[in-house]
Amino acid sequence: MSDKLKPRDRKVRILATLGPASDTPEMIETLSRAGVDAFRINMSHGERKEKAALFDHIRGLEQKLGRPTTIVVDLQGPKLRVGKFAGGKAMLEDGQTFTLDRDEAEGDTSRVQLPHAELFEAIEAGSLLLVDDGKLRLRATEVSEDRIVTEVEVGGKISDRKGVNVPDVLIPIPALTDKDRKDLDFALEMGADWVALSFVQRPEDVAEVQDIVKGRAGVMAKIEKPRAVDALDDILALADGVMVARGDLGVELPPEKVPPVQNKIIATARKAGKPVVVATQMLESMITSPTPTRAEVNDVADAIYDGADAVMLSAESAAGQFPEKAVKMMDRIGRAVEEDERYGDRVHFTETLPEATTADAISQSARGIADTISAKAMACYTSSGSTARRISRERPLVPMLVMTASLGVARRLGLLWGAHAVHTRDVSSFEEMVGKARRMILRHDLAEAGSRVVLMAGVPFGQSGSTNVIHVVKLAGDELETYQRSLDLDE
Q: What is the CATH number of the domain that holds 96?
A: 2.40.33.10
213 vs 191, 241, 299, CA distance in Å?
11, 14, 34
By C-alpha distance, which of 5, 8, 15 is closest to 327? 15
**Cα 180–Cα 46–Cα 262 angle in degrees, nearest 5:** 60
| Any domain includes 352 | no
Residue 173 phi, psi dihedral angles, 5° rounding:
-125, 130
Q: Give the range with max mean pLDDT: 309-318, 374-383, 436-445.
A: 309-318
| Any domain includes 323 | yes
| Any domain includes 400 | yes
Q: Residue 484 — pLDDT band, cuts 50, 70, 90?
A: very low
The catalytic residues are: 40, 81, 222, 280
Question: What count of other Cβ atoms lies within 10 Å of the Cβ of residue 174?
Answer: 17
| Any domain includes 210 | yes
Cis previous bond, 460, omega within 30: yes
Strand order in the sheet with 400-404: 419-423, 400-404, 377-381, 452-458, 467-474
Q: Are residues 182 and 150 in the same domain?
A: no
Mean per-residue pLDDT of the chain: 93
Q: Are residues 160 and 217 in the same domain?
A: no
79 vs 34, 102, 115, 166, 317, CA distance in Å?
34, 17, 11, 12, 24
| Any domain includes 2 | no
pLDDT given for residue 357 in this prediction:
81
Out of 347, 377, 400, a domain closes at 347
pLDDT, one tens digit per residue, over 424-455 is: 988 888 888 899 999 999 999 999 999 999 99
How far is residue 327's CA from residue 11's CA, in Å, rounded to a whole number? 15
pLDDT given for residue 407 in this prediction:
96
CATH number, residue 306: 3.20.20.60
Contact 100, 111 (CB under 8 A): yes
DSSP conformation class of 126? T
Q: Are residues 304 and 386 in the same domain?
A: no
Which amino acid is residue 79, in one-letter code? K
| Any domain includes 7 | no
- Region 213-222: mean pLDDT is 98
360 vs 60, 82, 271, 407, CA distance in Å?
37, 50, 12, 25
pLDDT, one tens digit per residue, over 345-375 is: 999 888 887 777 877 888 888 899 999 999 9
How is 293-323 classified by DSSP, letter by letter? -HHHHHHHHHHHHTT-SEEEESHHHHT-S-H
Out of 347, 381, 416, a domain closes at 347
Q: Are residues 280 and 330 in the same domain?
A: yes
Strands (E), 118-159: 128-131, 136-143, 147-154, 156-159
Q: Are residues 307 and 424 in the same domain?
A: no
Task: Please give the model's pTM, rounded to 2 decimal places.
Answer: 0.93
Helix axes 25-34, 323-339, angle to 10 degrees: 20
Q: Are residues 195 and 312 in the same domain?
A: yes
**Full domain range(s) for residue 95:** 86-165
Question: What count of other Cβ atoms lies within 10 Å of the Cβ of residue 157?
Answer: 12
Which amino acid is residue 281, in one-letter code? Q
By C-alpha distance, which of 240, 235, 248 is closest to 196? 240
Contact 283, 247 (CB under 8 A): no
What three-state secondary structure class fits 159?
Answer: strand
pLDDT, one tens digit per residue, over 109-118 is: 999 999 999 9
| Any domain includes 8 | no
Number of separate domains in the chain = 3
pLDDT given for residue 463 in this prediction:
65
Q: Are residues 179 and 40 in the same domain?
A: yes
Give me the helices (H) in 196-287, please.
Answer: 203-213, 226-230, 232-238, 246-252, 258-272
Q: Are residues 181 and 330 in the same domain?
A: yes
**Cα 447–Cα 450–Cα 451 angle in degrees, nearest 5:** 40
Which amino acid is residue 301, in one-letter code? A
Q: Are residues 387 and 441 in the same domain?
A: yes
Q: Are residues 293 and 420 in the same domain?
A: no
CA 402 to chain CA mean position, Å: 20
Q: Are residues 157 and 201 in the same domain?
A: no
Out of 347, 380, 400, a domain closes at 347
| Any domain includes 6 | no
pLDDT, one tens digit per residue, over 399-423 is: 999 999 999 999 999 999 999 999 9
Q: Are residues 335 and 364 in the same domain?
A: no
